[in-house]
Chain A
Amino acid sequence: MATTTEAAPPSAALDSLTSALIDANDRLLGLLALITDEAPTSLDNDVLITAIVERAAPILELDHVAVTGAARYSWGEAADDAPGRWSSTHTIPDQGEAEITFFRRSARFDTGDTKLLGAVAKLISNAVTTARMHRAAMDQAMMAKEHATAARITTAALPDPDKVPDVDGVTVFANLVPARNTGGDLYAWREIDGALWFALGDVSGKGLPAAVQMSTITSAIEAGFRQHHHEGPDAVVDAVGRWVHTRLSESGMFVTLAIGHFDPTNRELTVANSGHSPIVFRRDGASERIDATAPPVGVIEGIQVIPTVITTEPGDLLVLATDGFTEQDNADGEMYGEDRFDDTIALAAGDATTVGEMLLAELAEHGKDREQSDDRTLMVLHFS
């Protein structure tokens, strides 16, 4: 049978072989560049992918690269009807699946091309994963920084717990432990003309906004002590309430606030409670709540707080805490609880520091192995 194919002239065959070898060499060099070139200094998703695509595009004559799904990216002009089109799907940790598609207008991708495209796609998916892990690490660092800033603001706004006001007839103990995500707890105390003024409260909300508000409200309380100490705790609550209302009326932010006063000359204890809980007064082994007589400050104007007045006797206790104390849960998810708080105080013995440290130790035992989810504050006054 006569042959119908003619062998190519030797020179043409050589040309074609040379060009194929040069092509292969270009591809090898391109591939080497992809792997060995210095990585971009940015860890931004788009910068990383572009660095890979711009090295791969000349080797493979790519016109368009698109990433869809868990990550989004596009390079070059859309070429939906191009004859060369090849996709692969990759799993991005915590994000789901991303599909990477390559387009070429000049020709279909052959077997050699697709092997190379597979390697390029893998590089892109690794870059997306790196960028995503970097972002997660950045977010975490920023959050840690925000938490640290909030905790610093809180600490700066509080009185030194070791510098207890020196007032006859009463010992005082205070302890505030901010949660990792600060919860807006506050306390304040001051001796004015031989009498003790004290405050304990909780700004609604969490994090930096709550810490900033907590700090400014602590200043408003201090100002209230100075300006209204000739009146009474209810006047201080009103003053703080007006202050909060003019500044925070747009948001839902409010402050549960108890303001107290103890006058050693007549042993009279006065407590004005706007929306705060728990406050427990203990006498002769029986504890009793001092309930709120008005909603928290900042909620609504015009509801007058009615102060509770008690003539203290030696051995009486007043214990104030925030919900972060009574709502601390244990490993089984059970809260410490207000009833247990009341019962423990009923039987507590010793001065303010002894009672305070006993309560803290009991709570630490209850909440061990659990992260503290909210600020918790405790203030104890022991009368003698």
Chain B
Amino acid sequence: MQLVTDRKNTERPGLVLAGRFDAFETDAFREAADALLAQGSSSISVDMSDVIFVDSSGLSELVRTMKHCREAGGELYINSPSDPVRVIFELTRLDAAFTIVDA
């Protein structure tokens, strides 16, 4: 997996995920997301357009981050999820819980 933090938009800094997002990758994601929250961001956008696979550990990290954003009065935005990610969101109905933004 690749993970890049994009701080250009200070209101809503972004994380760009690519590749597989599974149990092996969740620590790096959590660290990056917690760093943004600790720096005072209440909203985070996560670009998932190049994610090829997400499992329940990856989903769980997204849910955790979503909860923390909402507690801080913000929101977790999921940008342009790739088809495999979209399928999982639809199967689990997590699309009803996440705020999904399409480019």
Binding site for B on A (CB under 8 A): 183-184, 202, 204-206, 249-254, 256, 274-278, 291-296, 298-300, 303, 323, 327, 374
Contacts and interface: CB of A to CB of B under 8 A. Distances in A.
Given A252-B63, A252-B67, A293 B93 contact: yes
B20 to A, nearest CB: 11
Contacts of A296: 92-94
Interface in B59-92: 59-67, 91-92
A159 B91 CA distance: 27
Contacts of B60: 204-205, 251-254
B56 interface: yes
A294 B93 CA distance: 6
Contact of B96 (A206, A254, A294, A298): A294
B21 to A, nearest CB: 13
B55 A323 contact: yes
A75 B75 CA distance: 53
Helix, strand, loop or mixed for chain B's interface?
Answer: helix
Interface in B27-70: 55-57, 59-67
B64 A202 contact: no
Interface residues of B, number: 19
7 contacts: A251-B60, A252-B60, A254-B59, A274-B93, A291-B93, A298-B63, A303-B93
A275 B55 contact: no
A275 B94 contact: yes
A292 B92 contact: yes
A293 B61 CA distance: 22
A295 B65 CA distance: 16
Interface of B: 23, 55-57, 59-67, 91-94, 96-97
Nearest to A202: B56
A291 B63 contact: no
A275 B93 contact: yes
A299 B94 contact: yes
Nearest to A278: B91
A383 to B, nearest CB: 25
Given A205-B57, A206-B23, A254 B63 contact: yes
B91 A204 contact: no
B81 to A, nearest CB: 15
Contact of A323 (B23, B56, B93): B56
B63 A303 contact: no
Given A206-B23, A252-B64, A303-B96, 7 more contacts: A204-B59, A249-B67, A250-B67, A251-B60, A256-B56, A278-B91, A327-B55
A327 B66 CA distance: 26
